[in-house]
Amino acid sequence: MDGGADVQVNNAHGGAGSGGAMGVQIQHNRRLPDFLQSVNLKYVKLGYHYLISHLLTLCLVPVMIVILIEASQMNPDDIRQLWLHLQYNLVSIIICSAVLVFGSTGYMMTRPRPVYLVDYACYRGPDHLKAPFHRFMEHSTLTGDFDESSLEFQRKILERSGLGEETYVPEAMHYIPPRPSMAAAREEAEQVMFGSLDNLFANTSVKPKDIGILVVNCSLFNPTPSLSAMIVNKYKLRGNIRSFNLGGMGCSAGVIAVDLAKDLLQVNRNTYAVVVSTENMTQNWYFGNKKSMLIPNCLFRVGGSAVLLSNKSADRRRAKYKLVHIVRTHRGADDKAFRCVYQEEDDAGKTGVSLSKDLMAIAGGALKTNITTLGPLVLPISEQLLFFATLLIKKLFNSNVKPYIPDFKLAFDHFCIHAGGRAVIDELEKNLQLLPIHVEASRMTLHRFGNTSSSSIWYELAYTEAKGRMRKRHRVWQIAFGSGFKCNSAVWEALRNIKPSCHSPWEDCIDKYPVKIVT
């Protein structure tokens, strides 16, 4: 076999709903025994995972068979004696039944109420707000605020960013010179928030007066009255609504807002909560020449989402998802992490958001902490045993054994990684050992809509639905990073086979995707 051809199996656009076909290619850089060994190891691991996951069932089945055999061999006298024994212990049976009933009632009354995601909507801007690369660079040149070095830097960032030609920038940035103002920023906020909410109310037939909880998050734009008050005023929400406005919490604030809404739904029965996530660019465009502060100009784009949550048991039938877990990690106690995404003025007094060169390393550390908490909640016992076994070997024998990276593909069917930038997606794909199909939604969202901050994970979920990949009991992992520095995770379980809602942001372009990203 030494001189034999090598075989590699490739899956073009593999995965559910992608329509890809399996192909076999003959290559000369890998030996056939190595390939067979890797295939064998794969099936050994799958067999181990199945054995551990079904260990209890495999142990109980023989016991049940033995009990049934013994019961079938009992004679009528034995059965009569058993019945008499139960009659003489009637008081004990009644007491046990009463304890069981009261215990079950107490559990049902005190257990956390399930939180359902009825539906959500994402904003898609009008065509006249699109900013293709040539127009972006032309406007940057004509404003006269950037020197040649800064213009070249922005051009290179755009080319390598993973963004496409159809992302949106706010109205004020389309003028020469740009017209950032409080009025323009309010107009952008209204267009995004009201556009998302109009679609949400139309799709769910929920009346604004039925909303009992409202949570709005926007990091950089916090006017008075607040954004949440703008929504209350627009839709004439009821006077006793519990309204919250989260500011300065970065791109991971969408998960924080859902967590807050979840807690409020535990104490307010039979009501709806709306979570609105957005970012505002009009007054936060940087017009200086500091390189670390120019990057947000190239990556951030207009976008927003509105999510309807419910704790009503009747809504389970029509809801899309059930919230399973939320895990939040905050690294703000570390000075480097605290300052890695920082709003400040440059030497010329111009305000912008500075991104540290240590950002990816800090994000990796925050992710590690987050998944250390999330892993035991979601991973099958087989993966947990492998992880703790390698950790124990490393501690006891002080060996050079590499830490075992759990296979999160066994816990989740879909991944919605915050589309913060191409490097973020690449790093998580590598560190979590994901396949291209698992990060497709994130890459395509970055290409079509850019970094829309805290709402990007909802555009990604909408992409998965538009591709027809979401099936009943599938689990989704939303991962978001934000200033502070924070890493937050939300886990959802699909309650049915899900089709995209009306006015999906992908409804007129999903057939064009996935597209090849130029490296």
SS3 365: helix
* Token pair 């709402």: residue: 455
Q: What stretches of 139-194 adopt beta strand conformation (E)?
A: none
Reply yes or no on whether 447 is catalytic.
Answer: yes
Sign of CA dihedral 406, 412, 418, 421: positive
Which three-class secondary structure state does DSSP give residue 404? coil
Q: How many CB atoms lie within 10 A of CB 360?
A: 16
Among candidate residues 475, 470, 458, 285, the one with its CA nearest the CA of residue 380: 475
Beta strands 414-417 and 475-482 are: parallel
Q: Which secondary structure element, helix H or strand E, spans residue 351, and what is its range?
A: strand 351-355
Task: Kindly state the DSSP code that residue 311 receives in the 8-state scheme.
Answer: -
CA distance 368 to 373: 9
Q: Among residues 311, 414, 416, 487, which one is catalytic?
A: 414
> Please, which residues have CB within 8 angstroms of residue 440's CB and are 6 or more apart in sequence?
15, 463, 514
Q: 3-state DSSP call for residue 62?
A: helix
Q: Which amino acid is at 353?
A: V
Q: Which of 297, 311, 370, 451 is catalytic?
A: 451
Question: Residue 330 catalytic?
Answer: yes
Which residue among the candidates 280, 311, 418, 488 is catalytic per the annotation? 418
Q: Which is the catalytic residue, given 122, 330, 340, 416?
A: 330
Which residues, in sequence order, are bridge partners of residue 493? 322, 475
Rounded to the nearest 5°, which phi and psi values hold at 229? Answer: -65, -35
Side-chain-facing half-sphere of 24: CA atoms under 13 Å:
4
- H or E element, residue 305: strand 304-310
Distant-in-sequence, close-in-space partners of 63: CB < 8 Å, separation ≥ 6: none
Strand, coil or helix: 360: helix
Phi-psi region of 441 (alpha: psi -120 to 50; beta: other; left: phi over 0): alpha
122 has catalytic annotation: no
Name the catalytic one among 251, 298, 340, 487: 251
**3-class DSSP state for residue 321?**
strand
> Which of 344, 363, 340 is closest to 352 using CA atoms?
344
Quick one: which of 270, 269, 253, 169 has its CA closest to 215?
253
Strand (E) or helix (H) holding 185: helix 182-204
Catalytic residue of the set 340, 447, 474, 487: 447
Three-state SS at 342: strand
Catalytic residues: 251, 330, 414, 418, 447, 451
